[in-house]
Amino acid sequence: MKNYELMLIISPTIWEEERNKTISNLKNILEKNWAKIEKEDIWGERKLAYKINKQDKGFYILYYISVDGKKILDMTKEINLDKNIFRHMFVKQN
C-alpha cells in the first residue's frame, strides 16, 4: 500500500444533498478498491484557474489515501463516470 493524495473538483451548481451523494459514491469506490482514507480535507468552493463546463468555480475536496497503486486505474474509470465531478487527480506521496 502506498500513500496518495486525491484531489477532486465537484460542480458548484448542484445542491448540497446531491454533493453529499457524490461524495458518498466516491467513498464507496475507494472502499471497493481497498483504499483507506487517512484524511479528508474539504476546501469548499473556490475559483478555478480556467472555466470548466462554463463554470468559473468548483467545490474542492482533498483526500489522503493508502491504496495499492494497481487500483488507481480502476478507481479512475469509475470516477470518470460521475458527471458531477469536473476533475480529479491522484498524486503519489513520498
Neighbours of 94 (CB within 10 A): 4
- Compute the distance between CA of residue 16 and CA of residue 32 in angstroms, rounded to an integer: 24
Reported as a single tens digit per residue, the pLDDT across 55-87 is 999 999 999 999 999 999 999 999 999 999 999
Taken as a whole, the chain contains a residue count of: 94
The CATH architecture that domain 2-92 belongs to is 2-Layer Sandwich (3.30)
Cell 502506498, residue located: 2
Nearest to 93 by CA among 32, 22, 39: 39
Beta bridge partners of 3: 66
Reported as a single tens digit per residue, the pLDDT across 7-20 is 999 999 999 999 99
